[in-house]
Amino acid sequence: MEREVMLAGIGGQGVQLAAALLARAATLEGRHVLSLGTYGGTMRGGNTESVVVVGDAPLHSPPIVSRVWSALVVHPRFWAPVRAKLTAGSLVWTDPTRFDEALPEGVQKFEVPAAQLASDCGAPVAAALVLVAAFCGGTGLVGLDALCGALAACLPPYRQEHLPKNTEALRAGFAAAPAAAPPAWPAQAVA
């Protein structure tokens, strides 16, 4: 079984960090992972997206996907390419204060006040981390311990001083996960 997760937003929001965190956390739990991050020609404000494919067996194709099981949309500016990859049954995770776009039929939306939770933790730029943690908490794609364990390895050396507040942001996001989210893995496949 594979789960394709697309994270999208604008450069500078931590989308690439959140994707790297998700990928590393999944490997810590013994899952197989492929990840590909892309971003536009600008460092801040341009489009940025990353696809993380997590499987319970070895993966053989690159993480360039035509459809996704879930999308975490941190900012709607570049929503059209994400929308095109959604199918009936896909899950979209957003912050309701930043996203009010129409969804395709059959797509489920889960809202998490990620920016507010990040700010409450003293990490106002960690909304993408809060969103990925809420997604993991809701779907069980990976656990909180794996996310927290992967965080230090994902933060660059010049950002390590943010580790305590970013860890707090992960915990807040995980705790804020909507209970109605469908599980990522069948009960028998949970590690």
CA distance 148 to 146: 6
Tell me the mean pLDDT per 10 residues along the chain, length 191: 93 88 97 89 75 93 87 92 95 94 95 97 95 98 97 93 97 95 76 43
- pLDDT value for 189: 43
DSSP string, 88-125: EEEEEEE-TTT------TT-EEEE--HHHHHHHTT-TT
pLDDT of residue 16: 92
What superfamily would CATH give domain 2-112+135-154?
Pyruvate-ferredoxin oxidoreductase, PFOR, domain III (3.40.920.10)
The type of residue at 81 is P
pLDDT at 64: 84
Record the pTM: 0.92
pLDDT of residue 186: 86
Q: What is the pLDDT of residue 41?
A: 62
